[in-house]
């Protein structure tokens, strides 16, 4: 196999950093030299779980501490700082004699929850997360919360921030959480959560990363798509792969509490459809794990890429 030095860079949000880091780690494990470049703030979000195999190094660049909520300024700074940083790395590569450079641009705190999840029964916890970009209305948050409370199932819900919510909504969240078996956090390591044996269902926007992470973990899905490829992914989950269901929204694109409860009963209940969904989820997990093993289709295809370029 030829020896290459790969430069991999990605947009600095969790949904893009996670899969890109996995690619970087895999290439390094296969013997390549890899430099991973993204913003310093992006790396800071995952600093406690950065992989460190031989051959993998990091090249963070400043985004001038612009808050992501200021979208226009943030994107402007990322474009400028990212471009300047990549130019520096490329110039340095000419001086250090890299044999080959492949640039992949993907425009795309660990929580302490182990004690809580270990106290839960197998496949009993509902995990809810809607990615880095989907913005839920107050009405939707209230409906999800009430649906979870009424289901009487333990749940772990990632809500990026409640700071901007109306006082009435914040007070309701605080009151309900005190009186139910649930946990609300602003961030978690999603792959770690999905891999925990207590997780029995994932309520998701069906972004591609989340969909694949659930598939690889063998966790059934309840899809709540909002835009882009999410609708297609939800259709695949329900109608093609059979490892979940799609929640139906009302005219205001809001999933009502009754609909969430119905979907939870289907996916986590003892009916025949739920049993088949869970069986399919576990079967797909096995297929995915076989594909990435030495000799599997994904493993072989990645080796071919490394040998070809």
Q: Is residue 194, in this structure, part of any structural domain at all?
A: yes
Q: Are residues 83 and 231 in the same domain?
A: no
Q: Are residues 119 and 214 in the same domain?
A: yes
Q: Is residue 302, in this structure, part of any structural domain at all?
A: no
CB 35 within 8 A of CB 59: yes
SS (H, E, C) the chain: CCCCEEEEEECCCHHHHHHHHHHHHHHHHCCCEEEEECEHHHHHHCHHHCCCCCCEEECCECCCCCCCCCHHHHHHHHHHHHHHHHHHHHHHHHHHCCCCEEEEEECCCCCCCHHHHHCCCCCCEEEEECCCCCCCCHHHHHHHHHHHHHHCCCEEEECCCCCCCCHHHHHHHHHHHHCCCEEEECCCCHHHHHCCCCEEEEEECCCHHHHHHHHHHCCCEEECCCCCCHHHHHHHHHHHHCCEEECCCCCCCCCCHHHHHHHHHHHHCCCHHHHHHHHHHHHHHHHHHHHHCCCCHHHHHHHHHHHHC
Q: Is residue 19, in this structure, part of any structural domain at all?
A: yes
Residue 133, pLDDT > 70, answer yes
The DSSP bridge partners found for residue 34 are 6, 56
pLDDT at 159: 87
Residue 110, pLDDT > 70, answer no
Structural domain for 53, as ranges: 5-108
CB 297 within 8 A of CB 304: no
Q: What is the CATH number of the domain that holds 198?
A: 3.40.50.2000
CA 191, CA 294: separation in Å to the nearest integer?
21
Q: Is residue 177, in this structure, part of any structural domain at all?
A: yes
CA 36, CA 161: separation in Å to the nearest integer?
28
Q: Which of 183, 172, 28, 58 is nearest to 113 (CA)?
A: 183
**First CA to last CA distance, the chain:** 10
Average pLDDT (277-284) is: 97
The DSSP bridge partners found for residue 182 are 155
pLDDT at 113: 63
Q: Are residues 96 and 120 in the same domain?
A: no
Q: Are residues 51 and 140 in the same domain?
A: no
pTM beyond 0.85: the answer is: no
Residue 284, pLDDT > 70, answer yes
Q: Which of 4, 2, 22, 29 is nearest to 101 (CA)?
A: 4
Q: Are residues 190 and 98 in the same domain?
A: no
Q: Which tokens go with 148?
A: 């979870």
The pLDDT tens digits for 292-308 are 888 999 888 888 888 87
Q: Are residues 103 and 241 in the same domain?
A: no
Q: Is residue 93, in this structure, part of any structural domain at all?
A: yes
Average pLDDT (228-244) is: 95
The pLDDT tens digits for 163-208 are 555 666 777 787 888 888 888 888 788 888 999 999 999 999 999 9
Structural domain ending residue among the three candidates 108, 129, 145: 108
CA 88, CA 298: separation in Å to the nearest integer?
33
Q: Are residues 176 and 254 in the same domain?
A: yes
The pLDDT tens digits for 175-186 are 888 888 888 888
Count the domains in the chain: 2
Q: Which tokens go with 170?
A: 């914040």
Average pLDDT (133-158) is: 90
CB 128 within 8 A of CB 156: yes
Q: Are residues 43 and 156 in the same domain?
A: no
Q: Is residue 300, in this structure, part of any structural domain at all?
A: no
Q: Are residues 179 and 282 in the same domain?
A: yes
Q: Are residues 49 and 147 in the same domain?
A: no
Q: Are residues 275 and 137 in the same domain?
A: yes
Q: Are residues 185 and 166 in the same domain?
A: yes
pLDDT at 154: 94
Q: Is residue 255, in this structure, part of any structural domain at all?
A: yes
CA 138, CA 144: separation in Å to the nearest integer?
10
Q: Is residue 297, in this structure, part of any structural domain at all?
A: no
């Amino acid at each position: 196999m030829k020896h290459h030095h790969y430069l991999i860079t990605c947009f600095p949000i969790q949904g893009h950093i996670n899969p890109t880091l996995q690619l970087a780690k895999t290439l390094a494990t296969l013997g390549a030299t890899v430099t991973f470049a993204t913003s310093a703030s992006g790396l800071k979000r995952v600093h406690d779980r950065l992989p460190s195999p031989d051959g993998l190094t990091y090249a963070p660049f400043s985004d001038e501490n612009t808050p992501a909520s200021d979208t226009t300024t943030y994107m402007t700074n990322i474009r400028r700082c990212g471009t300047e940083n990549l130019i520096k790395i490329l110039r340095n590569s000419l001086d250090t004699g890299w044999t080959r450079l492949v640039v992949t641009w993907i425009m795309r705190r660990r929580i302490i929850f182990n004690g809580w999840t270990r106290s839960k029964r197998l496949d009993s916890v509902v995990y809810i997360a809607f990615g880095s970009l989907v913005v839920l209305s107050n009405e939707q948050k209230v409906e999800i919360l009430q649906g979870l409370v009424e289901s009487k199932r333990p749940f772990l819900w990632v809500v990026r921030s409640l700071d901007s919510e109306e006082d009435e909504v914040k007070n309701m969240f605080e009151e309900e959480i005190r009186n139910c078996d649930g946990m609300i956090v602003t961030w978690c390591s999603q792959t770690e959560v999905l891999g925990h044996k207590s997780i029995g269902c994932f309520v998701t926007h069906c972004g591609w990363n989340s969909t694949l992470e659930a598939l690889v973990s063998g966790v059934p899905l309840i899809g709540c798509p909002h835009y882009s490829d999410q609708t297609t992914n939800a259709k695949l989950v329900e109608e093609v792969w059979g490892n979940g269901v799609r929640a139906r929204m009302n005219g205001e694109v809001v999933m009502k509490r009754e609909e969430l409860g119905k979907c939870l009963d289907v996916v986590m209940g003892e009916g025949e459809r739920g049993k088949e969904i869970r069986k399919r989820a576990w079967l797909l997990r096995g297929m995915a794990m076989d594909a990435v093993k030495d000799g599997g289709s994904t493993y072989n295809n990645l080796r071919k890429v490394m040998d070809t370029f």
